[in-house]
Amino acid sequence: KKPSNCKKALLPILHSLVSAYVKAVTSSVDVVEPFKSLQHVTCPNYFDPTHDLLSHAHGAVSSLLPDGDCEELDVIKLARKYYDYWRPDKVKVILLAESHAHTEKDRAFNGPKFNNTLLRDVYEGPCDFISLVYCLAYGENESLIPCMKDKNNKGTTQFWTLFAAIARGVDHVAPCRTRKEFASPFAAD
């Protein structure tokens, strides 16, 4: 059943976007071997989701999920603000990974926030909290206002380790001697 607030069917739009992306990616592949670093990687297209498309997608997904399982649209828009803030002018690589962990609206907008005085004159992005790798307070309790111990704010050390490994290339081996070192809160390399 199509939600009443959805003016167009979402599936044809998504199919069109995915088809265009796959065509662009497969038609521009010149290299058979994987790249050893990010220097020579290019991204042929980036499809910027509009707020309208985001709203329709949210409506479609929330109609399929049990009550309370889908984040509120305002939280999704907050995640989008973080994505837009950190997205470079020229996208070279798209890494498919976990989007973000479910964040309640009250936590996002009325809970602790990122202490932007820590990066005075450097960071002008969003400060509301969301369990998202782009949120500077995610996994960093000391950066919250008010500062608090939050056992649920674990962050994602594996994600940072993955980013570090991608940035350094496949030839780099992290100097990691023990399992305890690898499990530390900092990226292994």
Residue 53, helix vs strand vs coil: helix
Report the interhelical angle of 73-86 vs 51-64 (nearest 10°).
140
Instruction: Tell me the per-residue pLDDT of 118-146, one tens digit each, with 9 for 90 and over.
Output: 988 899 999 999 999 889 888 888 899 98
Reply yes or no on whether the pLDDT at 102 is more than 80: yes
Q: Between these two residues, 161 and 30, which has the higher pLDDT value?
A: 161
Instruction: Tell me the per-residue pLDDT of 68-101, one tens digit each, with 9 for 90 and over.
Output: 888 999 999 999 999 889 888 887 777 666 667 8
Q: Which residue has the tokens 């058979």?
A: 32
